[in-house]
Amino acid sequence: MVPRETTPGEKKMIRRRPAILSLLAILSILWPLSFARADQPFQRFLPLLVDLAGWQGEKPDGMSMQMSGAAMTTATRNYERGPAQAHASVVIGQAAEGALAPIQTGLNIQTTEGHMVTETMRGMPVLKTFNTKDKSGTLMVSLGNAAMFSFAYEGITEAEALALAEKFDWKAIQAAAQAK
């Protein structure tokens, strides 16, 4: 029997094999730990990531992580309607602090290609970004110093995206973010 030559796709898979095996080993160690506490901090946000009429929403998911000197909690839900996509997320911790910096500085940039604008909606500071060419953008809502709600979208107008983002109860999300 003559050995056959390895295809480029097979070579790629062989190179990835150690990374995949490492990931599986890490997951096998961490998976049981994810069930150790029934009330993970991210779980309080999952019911607040609501269904959107006319959109197919994936199951909401989240993660809570604590390390010495740092903690982070996220909850996310993805939505699709044909080629259009939307992503709702809640972020608590230092990652939210960094993302909220433009809101605190009052950043306002407008070009023919899009904009980044800070303003107030529903009594809360927000940052709206929009890219005209891609019909994409993000609405970031400050829920506090280290907490934010984010609604990213692609393939819809900014007006439609803002109307969808307002279907979420920002005050309830803010209250959940402040709960210990």
pLDDT digits (tens, 9 = 90+) for 67-106: 877 888 999 999 999 999 999 999 999 888 888 888 888 8
pLDDT, residue 71, reads 82
Q: What is the dihedral of CA 109, 114, 119, 123, to 10 degrees?
A: -160
Taking only the tens place, the pLDDT of each residue in 116-166 is: 999 999 999 999 999 999 899 999 999 998 999 999 999 999 999 999 999
Q: What is the mean pLDDT of the chain?
A: 84
pLDDT computed for residue 95 by the predictor: 87
Tens digit of pLDDT for each residue in 96-113?
A: 888 888 888 888 999 999
Instruction: Report yes or no: 80 and 55 within 8 Å, Cβ to Cβ.
Output: yes
- CA atoms of 175 and 45, how far apart (whole Å): 10
More confident residue, 6 or 115: 115
The pLDDT score that the predictor gives to residue 11 is: 47
Q: What is the pLDDT of residues 28-64, one digit of tens each?
A: 555 554 444 456 889 999 999 999 999 999 999 999 8
pLDDT confidence of residue 41: 85
Tell me how far apart the alpha carbons of residues 90 and 123 are, in angstroms, rounded to a whole number: 18
Residue corresponding to tokens 């959940």: 176
